[in-house]
Structure 1
Amino acid sequence: MRRTVRSIVTALALGFALYFAARGIWWIVQPTAPLLMVSAIGLYLATALTTVLAGAAHSVRMPSGPAVLAFVTSLAVPSLVSLSLPWHERDAPFATWYIGAIGLLAVVCIVRRRLLCGWLMLAALIVAASLYMGLGEAFTLGLVGSITWVVVAQLLVLFWDRAVRDTERLADIQQAVSAWNATQEVRQRERRVRAQLALAVAGPVLTRTVAARGDLTAQERFDARLAEGTLRDELRGAALLNEAVRSAISDARRRGTSVTVFDEGGMDGLDEVRAEEIRDELAAVLERARSNRVIIRAGRDDRVAVTVVGRAAGGAHDDDAVDLWHEIRRAAE
């Protein structure tokens, strides 16, 4: 669609350029210097083709070279046309073709985002037409139309650029809304998974507790503590858990080890492959751990993703009580 509109606009510009050149060729009075008239027409046609087509396939903005050529043409063509005719013939219909022609070039420059060049060309046209035929006569013979074209072109360019900016802004907003919706859907799925896991872990224990009216056996109380720990792990450190880690934590607790999990964003920014490698390494460390208490912490650090600390009971000092210290790097070694 965009290419079709550009093709139509290009065809219209070239069509009008040929029309104005044809008006200049169709003289009814022999110029005193026909070579100047022909030179003006040739220069205008070459400039029109250059300004309309140069770089149009790559960018709307006209290259600087064609813009300079257009400005030079706006200075040269009125003088060439006027000097090729006697003074009393400079207001003839075929002699005023340059007014509309230069106005068209100024419009092309503005449409192709050379605004300063377009307005300078219009100013040069007004000065030249005033010198060669008088300001009032120039306005009567088409200068008003050229000025109107340039003003309308400027307004259309401003409105078009604003519409493009608004469209891009709306597209960005739509992308942000889509991303937010996707995030919410992911979070909803995670909440559903957590709820299902909570029901699967705590449901049987709660059902048994209600049925027994709180009168539980030692094994049932132990199972209840395991269920509580599992739910706490899911709330505090879901990013650290996979099936292997869950199984290792459960086995450690069944051995009598107290396991605490803290996720403070240590896994943020890692790709899923590396994150899964970290979880597998964590599971292996937990399987070997024989401490009375194990603390798993994923803090925000540039080098370390997860730290595992094991503490033994009965140490004389805090440092002596640490019997396990393992750091898992963010980057694979």
Structure 2
Amino acid sequence: MGRRMRLTVRSMATGLALGFAVYFAARGVWWTPVQPDVPLFMVAAIGLYIATILTAVLAGMDQGVRMPLWCGILALVTSIAVPHLVSVSLASADRVAPFATWYIGATGLLGVVCIVRRRFLIGWLTLLVLIVLSCAFMGPENAFTLGLVGSITWVTVAQLLVLFWDRAVRDTERLADIQQAVSAWHATQQVRQRERRMRVQLALAVAGPLLARTVAERGALDAEEKTRARIAEGRLRDELRGASLLNDAVREAIADARGRGVTVTVFDEGGLDNVDEQRRDEIRDELAGVLAQVSTDRVIIRAGSDEVIAVTVVGRGGAGGSRDEDEVDLWHEIPREAPGT
């Protein structure tokens, strides 16, 4: 729809420019009752102007709005040549005749086309040339009375409209980018929430019955049931606090470690954010391998927001009081990028 609107606006602007160009050219050949002393110069001026305005409006339109440089130079040369040809073809007294002043509006229109096609400097130079030559050939008072004010107004308004239009286009594109980013963020959050619900439902399906029995028995469980309840509770916490770190292998490795009496804590602080899915699978597999070999009393798995390290696994001893609680038995770091990349 945006492209269709741009094409419609461009078509309308092109049609208006060509329509006004034809109007000014028609004024130039309306030699009644006065005729040029050198009609060939007048005809040459009209022909040059028509060819230039067509080129300025249509050249390079398929490549973008900005006018080719050579076309802008042609417009500037024409803005110098046309007033000279028209004025030379007429006697001094006839240069203020209605048909003789057509080049004022025509050259102003040429400047407007240059402005609209993003050749601002050439557009203003065209207007400056028109002001100087029209004042030189017919006098400042006649020039401003017979259309120069209108040409100056056209070029000024065209410049303001183009600036406002470009600003509006930039703001629209910026808003569209923001909207796309917000939509993508909402979609990501919805996917994450759906995955989180599914994982919690899975954990509850496994741990729910045992936890319900724990509540019903008011904690009066035998040793095996207590171990199973502790593992089930830990699994539920894992699903809530570290879902992105888990796959079947990691879940199984954590369950086995807890079955051996290891206290496992999982924290997800965005360590796998901006990591592609293939690398995430590799990180989880490496984490499962590390957990399968732990023999310490307490393990902390943390996915921090470090730019280099995705996951850190720390093992500490002393859970039973036989060793210093601050003693680190295991320290394993899994980088965000695969080694060698």
Q: TM-score range by the shorter chain?
A: 0.7 to 0.9
Is residue 10–residue 52 contact of structure 1 (8 Å, CA) maintained in 2?
yes
In the superposition, relative to structure 1, how do residues 319 and 88 fare at CA in structure 2: closer, same or farther (>3 Å)? closer
- 1:211 lines up with 2:203 in the alignment: no
User: Residue 6 of structure 1 corresponds to which residue in structure 2?
Assistant: 10
From 163, 187, 198, give the equivalent of 1:158: 163
- 1:331 lines up with 2:332 in the alignment: no
CA-CA distance at 1:315 after TM superposition: 8.4
CA-CA distance at 1:248 after TM superposition: 1.6
Q: Give the aligned residue type for 2:143.
A: A
Q: Secondary structure at the match of 2:221?
A: coil
CA-CA distance at 1:275 after TM superposition: 0.8
* Superimposed CA distance per residue, residues 213-271 of structure 1 (whole angstroms, 9 cap, x where no aligned partner): 33222222222211222233234432221111101211222123333334444323221
User: Residue 113 of structure 1 corresponds to which residue in structure 2?
Assistant: 118
Is residue 196–residue 239 contact of structure 2 (8 Å, CA) maintained in 1?
no
Is residue 264–residue 300 contact of structure 1 (8 Å, CA) maintained in 2?
yes
In the superposition, relative to structure 1, how do residues 18 and 253 fare at CA in structure 2: closer, same or farther (>3 Å)? same
In the superposition, relative to structure 1, how do residues 141 and 73 fare at CA in structure 2: closer, same or farther (>3 Å)? same
From 239, 243, 246, give the equivalent of 1:241: 246
In the superposition, relative to structure 1, how do residues 132 and 304 fare at CA in structure 2: closer, same or farther (>3 Å)? closer
From 130, 134, 139, give the equivalent of 2:139: 134
Q: Give the aligned residue type for 1:110.
A: I
Listed as ranges, the matches of 1:272-311 within 5 Å are: 272-300=277-305, 304-309=309-314
Is residue 198–residue 231 contact of structure 1 (8 Å, CA) maintained in 2?
yes
Is residue 315–residue 321 contact of structure 1 (8 Å, CA) maintained in 2?
no
CA-CA distance at 1:285 after TM superposition: 3.4
In the alignment, the residues of structure 1 paired with residue 246 and residue 28 of structure 2 have an alpha-carbon distance, to the nearest angstrom, of 83
* Superimposed CA distance per residue, residues 143-198 of structure 1 (whole angstroms, 9 cap, x where no aligned partner): 34323332332333233223223322331332233133224323432442354245
What percent of counterpart residues are identical? Answer: 70
User: Residue 72 of structure 1 corresponds to which residue in structure 2?
Assistant: 77
* Superimposed CA distance per residue, residues 63-94 of structure 1 (whole angstroms, 9 cap, x where no aligned partner): 33322322222222112211111112112222
User: Residue 15 of structure 1 corresponds to which residue in structure 2?
Assistant: 19
In the superposition, relative to structure 1, how do residues 205 and 299 fare at CA in structure 2: closer, same or farther (>3 Å)? same
Task: Name which of structure 1's ranges 304-313 and 47-56 shifts more when overlaid on structure 2.
Answer: 304-313
In the alignment, the residues of structure 1 paired with residue 219 and residue 93 of structure 2 have an alpha-carbon distance, to the nearest angstrom, of 117
User: Residue 222 of structure 1 corresponds to which residue in structure 2?
Assistant: 227
Q: How many residues align?
A: 332
Q: Give the aligned residue type for 1:88.
A: A
User: Residue 85 of structure 1 corresponds to which residue in structure 2?
Assistant: 90
Task: Name which of structure 1's ranges 201-210 and 80-89 shifts more when overlaid on structure 2.
Answer: 201-210
In the superposition, relative to structure 1, how do residues 24 and 196 fare at CA in structure 2: closer, same or farther (>3 Å)? same
In the alignment, the residues of structure 2 paired with residue 307 and residue 43 of structure 1 have an alpha-carbon distance, to the nearest angstrom, of 77
User: Residue 60 of structure 2 corresponds to which residue in structure 1?
Assistant: 55
CA-CA distance at 1:325 after TM superposition: 5.7
CA-CA distance at 1:102 after TM superposition: 0.6
In the alignment, the residues of structure 1 paired with residue 64 and residue 277 of structure 2 have an alpha-carbon distance, to the nearest angstrom, of 41
Is residue 259–residue 294 contact of structure 1 (8 Å, CA) maintained in 2?
yes
User: Residue 147 of structure 1 corresponds to which residue in structure 2?
Assistant: 152
Is residue 297–residue 317 contact of structure 2 (8 Å, CA) maintained in 1?
yes
CA-CA distance at 1:22 after TM superposition: 3.1
In the superposition, relative to structure 1, how do residues 181 and 153 fare at CA in structure 2: closer, same or farther (>3 Å)? same
In the alignment, the residues of structure 2 paired with residue 319 and residue 151 of structure 1 have an alpha-carbon distance, to the nearest angstrom, of 76
Is residue 293–residue 310 contact of structure 1 (8 Å, CA) maintained in 2?
yes
Q: Structure 2: any 5+ residue segments left out of the alignment?
A: none
In the superposition, relative to structure 1, how do residues 219 and 101 fare at CA in structure 2: closer, same or farther (>3 Å)? same
Q: Give the aligned residue type for 1:10.
A: T
Task: Name which of structure 1's ranges 205-214 and 218-227 shifts more when overlaid on structure 2.
Answer: 205-214
Q: Give the aligned residue type for 1:331.
A: E
Is residue 21–residue 41 contact of structure 1 (8 Å, CA) maintained in 2?
yes
Is residue 65–residue 118 contact of structure 2 (8 Å, CA) maintained in 1?
yes
Listed as ranges, the matches of 1:20-39 within 5 Å are: 20-28=24-32, 29-39=34-44
In the alignment, the residues of structure 1 paired with residue 159 and residue 313 of structure 2 have an alpha-carbon distance, to the nearest angstrom, of 68
Q: Structure 1: any 5+ residue segments left out of the alignment?
A: none
Q: Secondary structure at the match of 1:94?
A: coil
CA-CA distance at 1:319 after TM superposition: 11
